[in-house]
Amino acid sequence: MTRIVVLNGPNLGRLGSRDPEVYGHATLSDIHATLDAQCPAGVSCEVRQTDSEAELISWLHEAIDTGSPVILNPAAFTHYSYALRDAAEMVTQAGLPLIEIHLSNPHQRESFRRQSVISAVATGVIAGFGADSYILALQQITRMAGN
Ligand code: DQA
């Protein structure tokens, strides 16, 4: 069984009511249900969200220790968290895929969102497709994991 961890940073627990013109109407549990429905046989998706940088970093450490591929929406940490960047780098250095995702396309938004400190250490980046960014990442990461 391949276990994929889908990690979400700050404020993503408010999806559904948070700025729906930008982030859509789906809640994180809606997204979790869709991921579960699309998961190929032999793959499980564990979706987690935290507003805490320390907790998000500890989940990346855990992914390394359990050999779990990672789908990561770092939310606002994307733009400035060098600590998260270093943890993400350890994931890819351990030979595990880490796909950075965003619901919105940060490049179409405020200038501070155009910088990602994570992208350079991610395996790849998917952004701008709303909740489908998660599905596209799942498809790619399961392909990479050989499922
Ligand atoms: C986001 C984009 C970030 O700039 C923002 O801070 C978020 C969500 C996205 O999914 O589009 O919280 O990561």
Contact between 77 and 121 under an 8 Å Cβ cutoff? The reply is no
- pLDDT tens-digit series, residues 83-134: 999 999 999 999 999 999 999 999 999 999 999 999 999 999 999 999 999 9
Q: How far is CA 47 from the centre of its chain?
A: 9
What string of DSSP letters covers 112-135? GGG--SSGGGSSEEEESSTTHHHH
Second-level CATH architecture of 2-145: 3-Layer(aba) Sandwich (3.40)
pTM attached to this predicted model:
0.97
Ligand 1 center–CA 90 separation, angstroms: 22
Extents of the domains making up the chain: 2-145
CB 73 within 8 A of CB 8: yes
| Nearest Cα residue to atom 8 of ligand 1 | 75
Nearest CA to ligand 1 atom 9: 102
- Active-site residue 102, yes or no? yes
Q: What average pLDDT is seen over the chain?
A: 96
Assess whether 23 carries a catalytic annotation.
yes
DSSP notation for 78-114: GGT-HHHHHHHHHHHHTT--EEEEESS-GGGS-GGGG
Model confidence at 146, in pLDDT bands (50, 70, 90)?
confident
113 C-alpha to center of ligand 1: Å?
8
pLDDT confidence of residue 141? 97
